[in-house]
Structure formats: structure tokens, C-alpha cells
Amino acid sequence: MLKTKPKKIENLLEVIRDCIWTGRYRDTMHAVQRKNERKIILPEIIYVLNNDRHYEETKNRKRINL
């Protein structure tokens, strides 16, 4: 039986930010494992989802700013 695609969420990032703010998100064991492999932690992911980018400037951007 064919499953119908769920309806597309228009303002997805806003919905995600709202979920983060209210704590309606989960950290699966699989995600924990993958994060540990990449040495990424939960607050970093939350920051990126809230601000669209990471706060550590890349070397290239630093050079441009200089």
C-alpha cells in the first residue's frame, strides 16, 4: 500500500526553534553515538538550529574580516 507523503511544513525552522525553546525534542541513542564520533555536543547543535550558523568563525572568514 502506498503511503502518502506528509504535508510539507512551510515555516520549518520556526517550528524547530519553538520545539527547542519549549524542550519538545529528543536525543536518540543513535544521534548520541554519531555526535560522539564527530565530537559534537548538544548545545552546539541547538546553537546552529537557532542561529543558522556556528559561532566559531572559520579561518577563511577570519582572514576576510582582517
The nearest distance, CB 1 to another protein, in angstroms, is: 19
> Which one-letter amino acid corresponds to residue 34?
R
Q: Is 43 in the site for another protein (CB under 8 A)?
A: yes
Minimum CB separation of residue 47 from another protein in Å reads 6
Give the CA radius of gyration of the chain. 16
Residue 64, interface with another protein (CB under 8 A)?
A: no
Per the CB < 8 A criterion, the answer to whether 20 and 49 are in contact is yes
Q: Is 42:27 a contact under the CB 8 Å cutoff?
A: yes
Chain residues binding another protein by CB under 8 A are 20, 23, 25-32, 35-36, 39, 41-44, 47, 55-57
